[in-house]
């Protein structure tokens, strides 16, 4: 059964980059034992900055030395600590790949790497776009990958990760995204996808901010084309909820993936790999950033340029189903 979501997004913007810090502060106030490492882009006025000011003995600033931060986080975890490490997303995956692979995953330690600014970033261009990270993370053993759909779900992931054994990536966007879930009391489990919207003609599998785009696209598909699209929030990219994928393939027959990532190696690749090996024969399409360095511009405009906004999603799905 689908959970309660909302299409009234205008007044329901949320910011996962603030939400994770607010939840860490609440957890510290609750007496939970963890340490926090961070890079120099954590502003003192932010929610994480308030955590640092209130609990300086458990917070460590590594400036702009992301590989050192990830390696030191592994050392703190090996000493018995649960570590939350906030790193600017593009530099987490591209600059600290060796440390993620060898220090974090190989040692199977309790580090939660919070990669911010996933997808396209405002004004940074190709050097600051975080669109190849999932391809790297998926290929590394022992690494669980969480991609919250909104700030409320990010809070759930942060809190629940305290009970989780092993390394985890928590991938969040640049901030200011609409809230997907009107009621945050829904069941949330790592590795278990959520049916955000029911549908019978096809299943749209998405994660992160693209869950909202997919729901809006489904609304357009229903109103303009008479197509009933199911939307699945696949918040755990690895390990993926393959039971949900099989259920969607069986019940709707057609599958589309939507993600703020390159079409190579991310959510779409993971879904395709599993379904093809399972004998899937329906129609399938990946919607994401093309295999090229993206054009420069405001992220929302660039997403629209590549057909990843709700109208673009609806158009591509309608063309697929003819």
User: Active-site residue numbers?
Assistant: 66
Q: Give CB contacts under 8 A, 24+ apart, made by 315-322.
A: 316/256, 316/285, 316/287, 317/202, 317/204, 317/217, 317/221, 317/227, 317/229, 317/256, 317/285, 318/221, 318/224, 318/225, 318/227, 320/254, 320/256, 320/283, 320/285, 321/201, 321/202, 321/227, 321/254, 321/283
Is omega for the bond preceding 124 within 30 degrees of 0, making it cis? no
* Angle between helical axes of 47-54 and 16-29 (0-180°, round to 10): 30
Task: Judge contact between 149 and 75, C-beta under 8 A.
Answer: no
Please state, in angstroms and rounded to a whole number, the distance separating the CA atoms of residues 164 and 142.
12
Kind and range of the H or E run holding 286: strand 284-289
The SS3 of residue 298 is coil
107: how many CB neighbours lie within 10 A of its CB? 14
């Amino acid at each position: 059964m689908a959970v309660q979501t909302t299409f009234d997004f205008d007044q329901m913007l949320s910011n996962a980059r603030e939400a994770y810090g607010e939840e860490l502060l609440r957890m510290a106030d609750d007496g939970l034992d963890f340490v926090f490492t961070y890079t120099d882009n954590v502003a003192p006025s932010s929610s994480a900055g308030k955590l640092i000011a209130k609990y300086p003995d458990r917070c460590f600033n590594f400036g702009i030395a992301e590989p050192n931060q990830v390696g030191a986080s592994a050392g703190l975890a090996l000493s018995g600590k649960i570590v939350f490490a906030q790193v600017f997303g593009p530099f987490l995956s591209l600059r600290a790949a060796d440390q993620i692979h060898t220090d974090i995953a190989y040692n199977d330690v309790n580090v939660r790497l919070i990669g911010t600014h996933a997808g396209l970033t405002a004004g940074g261009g190709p050097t600051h776009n975080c669109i190849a990270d999932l391809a790297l993370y998926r290929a590394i053993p022992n690494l669980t990958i969480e991609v919250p759909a909104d700030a409320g779900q990010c809070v759930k992931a942060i809190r629940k990760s305290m009970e989780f054994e092993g390394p985890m990536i928590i991938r969040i966007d640049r901030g200011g995204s609409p809230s997907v879930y009107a009621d945050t009391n829904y069941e949330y489990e790592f590795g278990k996808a959520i049916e955000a919207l029911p549908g019978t003609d096809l299943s749209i599998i998405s994660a992160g901010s693209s869950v909202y785009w997919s729901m809006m696209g489904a609304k357009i598909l229903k109103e303009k084309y008479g197509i009933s699209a199911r939307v699945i929030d696949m918040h755990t990219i690895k390990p993926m909820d393959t039971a949900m994928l099989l259920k969607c393939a069986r019940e709707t027959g057609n599958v589309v993936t939507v993600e703020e990532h390159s079409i190579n190696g991310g959510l779409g690749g993971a879904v395709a790999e599993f379904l093809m090996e399972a004998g899937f024969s329906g129609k399938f399409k990946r919607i994401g950033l093309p295999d090229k360095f993206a054009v420069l511009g405001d992220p929302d405009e660039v997403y629209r340029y590549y057909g990843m906004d709700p109208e673009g999603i609806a158009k591509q799905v309608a063309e697929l189903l003819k």
